Amino acid sequence: MGVEITTTRLEDAAKWAKQSTLEKATNWGRKFSLFSYPFVTACCGMEFMSVAGPKYDLARFGAEFPRFSPRQSDLLMVVGTVTEKQGPAVKRVFDQMAEPKWVIAFGVCASTGGFYQNYHTMPGVDQVIPVDVYIPGCPPRPEQVLDALILLMDRIQSGRGHSQLRDKREQLIASASSDEG
């Protein structure tokens, strides 16, 4: 025992990056069939509708099916201002989602709190859940959203999403301690 892998240190990077063929194939499948759950709270929602609509068409990238139940989705899009009062709700939605799961913070409000700096707004949704990709902009252009989606797909393929890294870390800890034992 006594194995502790808590950071992504440089010397570990090679270990982390190694993927079996099966993992590669699974991740390839995952990245083209994202089921998104839009957690829409504010004005950014308008821009989300425009990306999801026919003109910019999020569906071209395989993320075409917004599910309105977190249990059927694996991509949480936090779209808009999140207040401290909503914190428990966001966390609960995230906890209910199917593993492995990814989070996009859509707009400056969801990323950092934006121009709100006061008693009621959470300074970024990453205060309560891990975020994979942040999209700046108030609201972001649809092109930025598509760019973020492609970034996220790259991440999923290389296994660098938060929940994928966590699984990998657990695997490494398990294999390291079984090596010792």
Partner 1 sequence: MAQKVLDALKAAHGAAVDRTASAHTDEIAWIKRDQLLAVATWLKNDAAMLFDAPVFCTAIDWIDYRPLDRPPSEFWSEDKPRFTVAYQLRSSKHRHRIRIEIELPEADPKLPSLAGLWPAFNWQERETFDMYGIRFDGHPDLRRIYLYEEFVGYPLRKDYPKEKRQPLVRRDDLPMNPIKVAPMEHK
Note the residues at the interface with ligand SF4 (CB under 6 A): 42-44, 80-81, 107-109, 114, 138-139
CA dist 136 and 145 (Å) reads 9
* Cα distance between residue 156 and residue 151, in whole Å: 9
Q: Which stretch binds partner 1 (CB under 8 A): 26-34, 39-47, 80-88, 135-143?
A: 80-88
In the stretch 137-176, what mask flags binding to partner 1 with x, by CB under 8 A?
Answer: -----------------------------x----------
**Least distance in Å: CB of 147 to ligand SF4?**
17
Q: Which does 20 bind (CB under 5 to 8 A by kind): partner 1, ligand SF4, none?
A: none
- Read off φ and ψ for residue 74, nearest 5 degrees: -130, 5
Q: Is 6 in the site for partner 1 (CB under 8 A)?
A: yes
Nearer to ligand SF4, 43 or 172 (CB): 43
Q: Which of 99, 119, 179, 180 binds partner 1 (CB under 8 A)?
A: 119
Write out the two tokens for 93.
């939605």
Sign of CA dihedral 111, 158, 90, 69: positive
List 127, 144, 157, 158, residue binding partner 1 (CB under 8 A) = 127
Least spacing, CB of residue 148 vs partner 1, in Å: 21
The CB-of-81 to ligand SF4 minimum distance in angstroms stands at: 5
**Cα separation values, 123 from 26, 115, 128, Å:** 35, 10, 10
| Shortest reach from residue 90's CB to ligand SF4, in Å | 14
Q: Are 97 and 129 in contact (CB under 8 A)?
A: no
Please select the residue that binds partner 1; options are 58, 78, 79, 128, rule is CB under 8 A.
Answer: 128
